[in-house]
């Protein structure tokens, strides 16, 4: 707890608790609206980065006389991604579910591999690891097979995680206030 207080500061704990709790509740209550808004914000950010890359290309061309083709290619790619996110806001939702599915797939294979290793060492609990790995594998297959259908739940679970993080910061803040920890 002391490292958390040192790294964030006592006064910031309450603010962090508010921010994380607010974002968590908002994601739980309005997953569709917020993912579409997030898609628009990311698209605008991609436009800004793309325009910045074009400006950098123009400046490099003027100052050095060289033609850094990679800058203009990167700018076109970044702007194209921004256009795609604006034209298809549900694309971000699918990408979120697919990337979560791939991550869970990799982790479930690691869990199953760990279970096989534990079995070779004679550990009794290896079957629980196999079960956890197979259940994770099933979740990954569902996420990858039906990304649009499960995205709302992925966003809601993210909201729950953020809400729990906010509660954690509130708890740390209240403990700091109770104990009057002044060593920061």
What are the tens digits of pLDDT across the range 16-43?
888 888 888 988 898 878 877 877 887 8
**Separation of alpha carbons 23 and 162, rounded Å:** 7
Q: How far apart are CA 47 and CA 149, in angstroms?
A: 29
Distance CA 86, CA 41 (A): 9
* Cα atoms in the Cβ-side hemisphere of radius 13 Å centred on 133: 16
Q: How far apart are CA 96 and CA 102, in angstroms?
A: 10
Give the pLDDT confidence of 50-95 residue by residue, as tens digits: 888 888 788 777 887 777 777 788 888 888 888 888 888 777 777 8
pLDDT for 4 beyond 50: no
Share of the chain above pLDDT 90, in %: 1
């Amino acid at each position: 707890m002391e490292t958390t207080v040192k790294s964030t500061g006592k006064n910031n704990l309450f603010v962090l608790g508010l921010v994380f709790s607010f974002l968590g509740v908002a994601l739980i209550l309005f997953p569709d609206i917020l993912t579409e808004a997030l898609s628009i914000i990311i698209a605008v950010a991609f436009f800004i980065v793309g325009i910045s890359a074009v400006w950098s290309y123009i400046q490099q061309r003027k100052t050095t006389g060289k033609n850094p083709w990679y800058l203009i290619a990167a700018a076109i790619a970044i702007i194209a991604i921004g256009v795609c996110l604006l034209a298809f806001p549900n694309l971000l939702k699918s990408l979120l579910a697919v990337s979560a599915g791939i991550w869970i797939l990799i982790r479930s294979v690691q869990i199953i591999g760990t279970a096989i290793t534990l079995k070779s060492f004679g550990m009794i609990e290896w079957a629980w690891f196999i079960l956890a790995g197979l259940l994770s594998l099933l979740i990954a297959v569902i996420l990858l097979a039906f990304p649009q259908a499960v995205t709302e739940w992925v966003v809601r679970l993210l909201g729950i995680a953020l809400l729990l993080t906010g509660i954690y910061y509130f708890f740390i803040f209240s403990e700091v206030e109770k104990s009057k920890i002044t060593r920061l």
